[in-house]
Amino acid sequence: MGVAAQEKEKSPENWFNLDPIQDNLRGMSTEKTYQELLKGKQGRTIVVAVIDSGVDITHEDLQGKIWINTKEIPNNGKDDDKNGFVDDLNGWNFIGGKDGKNVEQDSYELTREYVRLNEKFGKIHHQKVGNRVIKDSPLQREKFAISA
């Protein structure tokens, strides 16, 4: 008497969003919940912020994709849209200085990263070259053969 191998049924990748009654699969019914919560409500466009150490808004791959604040007149030194930020044509750099620009030499985010990595990889060396400060760690020197 032979036993047929039973093939295990694969659950859908979004199983956790499914409804236990409707889909006969244990889930949280998120789709059903959204339908109920959003019933009769109108959708609206939202702007998504990039939280990072900077974006090159002039990069060719980003042309036509960077948000433009149409209520702001560029480079006139005024807060045209009255939101508290002067010349915020493409958003505002909250990590930079009070004027929304990166601080001289590097950003606060970069400085935070150096401090964090310094604890992990050892003392970070500062070397002044012209008007720039070069920062490197023992790990960088080893990886890129940089002399201290």
Residues 64, 49 share a domain: yes
Range of the domain at 117: 103-148
- Rg of the Cα atoms in the chain: 26
What is the pLDDT, as a whole number, of residue 53? 58
Residue 3 falls inside a structural domain: no
Residues 82, 95 share a domain: yes
Q: Are 110 and 53 in contact (CB under 8 A)?
A: yes
The C-alpha atoms of residue 106 and residue 108 are separated, in whole angstroms, by 7
Split into its structural domains, the chain has a count of: 3
What is the pLDDT, as a whole number, of residue 1? 57
109: its two tokens: 């985010």
Residue 57 falls inside a structural domain: yes
Mean pLDDT value of segment 11-24 = 84
| 77-133 residue pLDDT tens | 999 999 998 988 888 877 666 777 655 555 566 667 767 776 666 655 555 555 555
What is the pLDDT, as a whole number, of residue 145? 46
| 33-84 residue pLDDT tens | 888 998 999 888 777 666 665 677 788 888 888 889 999 999 999 999 999 9
